[in-house]
C-alpha cells in the first residue's frame, strides 16, 4: 500500500484555493471585517491571517491581482455547500406526464382525462397525449386527429403545443407545454 509523501497536503480538488495553495505571488487582501488592506505578497498575507486565527481564501481568482479574504475555510466551505443544496432543492424539474386516450373516447372519459391534463399543466409539467389505435381504428386516423384537435382547443389558454400530432406506429402523439 502506497502512502502519500509527507510535506505539503494535497491540493484541494474543488472549492477555492487557500493558504499555501494560492499560486499568485501577490494578492489583494480583504480582512475579516471586510476592509481592503491593499495588494501584498501572498506569504505576508498568509502570516497576517494566521495571526488573526483565520485562513487566507482566494475568493476571486480571475481578478488581477486575485482577491483573497481572511476567512475560516471550514466554515466557508460549509456555507457554500449549504447554499448549493438550497438552490438545488428549490429547483423545479419539469417532468413529462402521459395521458392515454382512444379515438372513440366517450365525453365523460374525455372530461376526466382533461381534468388531469389541466392539473399537470398547472404544476408546470409537460403533457404527452397518446392516442392508441387498435384493429380497424387504424384505418380511421381522422378520428384520432379530431380528438387531438379538441384537446388542443381546450387547453389553448393554459398550454401551447410543443410537438404537433404525429403517428408513431399504432399510436398518435402530441406534446403540450405550459405557457
Give per-residue pLDDT as tens, 156-179: 999 999 999 999 999 999 999 998
User: Comparing C-alpha atoms, which of 24, 17, 20, 23 is closest to residue 77?
Assistant: 17
What's phi and psi for 132, nearest 5 deg?
A: -95, 130
- Distance in angstroms (rounded) separating the CA atoms of residues 98 and 88: 26
Q: How many CA atoms lie within 13 A of 101 on its CB side?
A: 31
Report field, pTM of the whole predicted structure over 0.75: no
- Distance in angstroms (rounded) separating the CA atoms of residues 105 and 148: 11
For residues 72-97, average pLDDT: 89
- Distance in angstroms (rounded) separating the CA atoms of residues 165 and 152: 10
Amino acid at each position: 500500500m502506497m502512502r502519500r509523501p509527507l510535506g505539503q497536503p494535497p491540493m484541494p480538488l474543488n472549492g477555492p484555493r487557500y493558504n499555501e495553495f494560492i499560486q499568485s505571488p501577490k494578492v489583494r487582501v480583504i480582512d475579516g471585517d471586510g476592509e481592503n488592506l491593499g495588494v501584498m505578497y501572498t506569504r505576508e498575507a498568509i502570516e497576517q491571517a494566521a495571526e488573526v486565527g483565520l485562513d487566507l481564501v482566494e475568493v476571486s481568482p480571475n481578478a488581477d491581482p486575485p482577491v483573497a479574504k481572511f476567512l475560516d475555510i471550514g466554515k466557508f466551505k460549509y456555507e457554500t455547500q449549504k447554499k448549493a443544496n438550497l438552490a438545488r432543492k428549490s429547483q423545479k424539474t419539469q417532468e413529462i406526464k402521459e395521458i392515454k386516450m382512444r379515438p372513440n373516447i366517450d365525453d365523460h372519459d374525455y372530461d376526466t382525462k382533461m381534468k388531469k391534463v389541466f392539473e399537470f399543466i398547472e404544476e408546470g409539467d409537460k403533457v404527452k397525449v397518446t392516442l392508441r389505435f387498435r384493429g380497424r381504428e387504424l384505418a380511421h386516423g381522422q378520428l384520432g386527429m379530431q380528438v387531438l384537435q379538441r384537446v388542443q382547443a381546450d387547453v389553448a389558454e393554459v398550454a401551447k403545443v410543443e410537438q404537433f400530432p404525429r403517428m408513431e406506429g399504432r399510436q398518435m402523439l402530441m406534446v403540450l407545454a405550459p405557457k
